[in-house]
Amino acid sequence: MKKLKLGTSNLMVSNIALGCMGLGKLSVSEAEKVIHNALELGVDFYDHADIYQDGKSEEVFANAIQMNSSIRESIVIQTKTGIRKGYFDFSKQHILNSVDNSLKRLKTDYIDVLLLHRPDALVEPEEVAEAFDILSESGKVRHFGVSNHNQMQIELLKKNVKQDLIVNQMQLSVMHTGMIDVGLNVNNRNNNAVDMDGSILDYTRLNDITIQAWSPFRYGYFEGFFIDNEEFPELNTTLQKIGDKYGINKSAVAVAWILRHPANMQTIVGTMTPARLTAIAKASDVTLTREEWYEIYRAAGNELP
């Protein structure tokens, strides 16, 4: 499994991470198989959030991996905070309480990376900064980042936050390419020229922030999956053709397409099926050609200017 440097930190992590949202739906014995398989594949990065199954995913993870000091030092744990039932909350007290609860569920005394999960319209950067300082100084959180933020929202946080924001987790797949489309359609007047994300792709590259791509197999916003979907015959034919060349399946090609981007992104894969993760993990060592990357992009229905 290839590794990448996470933002400005000293963390070297697998370029494919396991998204743990679905762990809370599994029994501990089922989760053990998922996690042990991931570890054998070289996946050392595990992405959580306090809202995943109301915290149960973190709890099941800790029990399944049989958390102890030796295991803890061999993995990187990321969790997220800020989404509450019906609203978002980046208040100092909620951030601190959320981290304490995650630490208890995860059976650890520190989080490697804490992300602010979706922007809070009522964010007060001063409060976020106070919370981050407390968490950093106490050793409860080692690194910080955001999820689904644009560049100005990050700049607003940086006005007060002293710690580097090393990650921005964003939805990205070959069928959800807004942050890429806008860069290809500069000086055009078509829909793809509309910047929905505040030039976030260029911004993160300029500021050494790692983009973590979530939902790498979905189209739209949770509308469905494009792999083996009869609505997307050209894309699936192309994925199959290129997959045959490299000896990988269509899902692995879809991940290899993300990993090929020079922004050096990390892909979050949420499958709870060991065999599927084993197949997808092969993407880590595949480097698509420039021609193949653009062929897949066009097959997904994206037009070049």
Q: Write out pLDDT tens, residues 233-281.
A: 999 999 999 999 999 999 999 999 999 999 999 999 999 999 999 999 9
Catalytic residues: 52
Calpha distance 84→61 (Å, rounded): 21
The residue with tokens 């910047």 is 195
Question: Are the beta carbons of 216 and 206 closer than 8 angstroms?
Answer: no
Identity of residue 156: L
| pLDDT, position 198 | 84
pLDDT of 121 reads 98
Mean pLDDT over each residue of the chain, to the nearest integer: 97
Q: How far apart are CA 194 and CA 295, in angstroms?
A: 23
Question: Token pair of 58, please?
Answer: 């973190």
Q: What distance in Å separates the CA atoms of residue 253 and residue 163, rounded to the nearest whole number? A: 35
pLDDT in tens, 211-228: 999 999 999 887 899 999
Report pLDDT digits (tens) over 146-186: 999 999 999 999 999 999 999 999 999 999 999 999 999 99
Provide the whole-model pTM: 0.96
